[in-house]
A = this chain, B = another copy of it.
Amino acid sequence: MSIVITVGREFGSGGRELGRRIADELKIAYYDKEILEEVKKRTPYSLSYIESISEDRPFTLPSISYGNSFMFYKDVPLEQHFDVQNAQVEFLKEIAAKSSCVIIGRAADYILRDMNPFRIFVYADMQSKIERCKARQKEGEPQLTDKQWAKKIKLVDKKRRNFYDFYTGQYWAEKESYDIMVNTSHTEIKLISKHLADMLRPAIETDKKEVKTEA
């Protein structure tokens, strides 16, 4: 059976880099933005819309009261939200069934819980996250102050937390939801990812052999 490695991460902690490196070390598939592209193919929505909600909980509209009775109007954003989530869940199950892989975010640890994934969470202190965000900024992107970066980081993580907690009934960034939690503030990502890959390699090799035998 495929080995699934999931990576939850705080914004700016280097979780994507860590996941990418583990996938490269183990020569297995890696899914992050690829998931959005696939959801775009399967739904009528734009990539930017999908990206904006792919890790956010549904936007709940207040109910409207008429006199003494309550009425809920047809909640279009909510339906669109679930369209995207359903396509995402379907795609994650497909790729996990196909071969061993690393999946970034999207509550994949919970969605694929029947496959007993190895669940990594990556975090760092605020200053270290700000530095990483600045370092990976592309030319032409607006320059933010440290304070603005901190605000942005907190906002993205708040959305991720809401999304995760809403869909899983577990708690995002709480140790009970993960197998290992890695602080990248003082440790090189290259170093951690290498040793995590070494730890996971025997399971992956066994899976590759099984796939070969089946073929």
Q: Do B183 and A178 touch across chains, with their CB atoms under 8 A apart?
A: yes
Q: Do A191 and B199 touch across chains, with their CB atoms under 8 A apart?
A: yes
A37 within 8 A of B: no
Complex Cα spacing A198 to B196, Å:
10
Complex Cα spacing A192 to B195, Å:
10
A68 within 8 A of B: no
> Chain A interface secondary structure, helix, strand, loop or mixed?
mixed
Q: Do B199 and A195 touch across chains, with their CB atoms under 8 A apart?
A: yes
Contacts of A116 in B (CB 8 A): 186
A125 within 8 A of B: yes
Q: Find the B residue at minimum CB distance from A179.
A: B183
Q: Find the B residue at minimum CB distance from A183.
A: B179
Contacts of A198 in B (CB 8 A): 195, 198
Q: Do A125 and B195 touch across chains, with their CB atoms under 8 A apart?
A: no
A111 within 8 A of B: no
Contact of A187 among B125, B179, B194 (CB under 8 A): B179
Q: Give the interface centre of A123, A179, A187 by most chain B CB atoms within 10 Å.
A: A179
Contacts of A125 in B (CB 8 A): 176
A47 within 8 A of B: no
Q: Which of A189-212 contact B (CB under 8 A)?
A: 191-192, 194-196, 198-199
Q: Do B183 and A182 touch across chains, with their CB atoms under 8 A apart?
A: no
Q: Do B199 and A192 touch across chains, with their CB atoms under 8 A apart?
A: yes
A180 within 8 A of B: yes
Q: Do B175 and A179 touch across chains, with their CB atoms under 8 A apart?
A: no
Contacts of A178 in B (CB 8 A): 181, 183
Contact of A180 among B173, B181, B199 (CB under 8 A): B181
Q: List 6 A-B contacts (CB under 8 A).
A: A175-B175, A175-B181, A178-B183, A179-B185, A180-B187, A195-B198
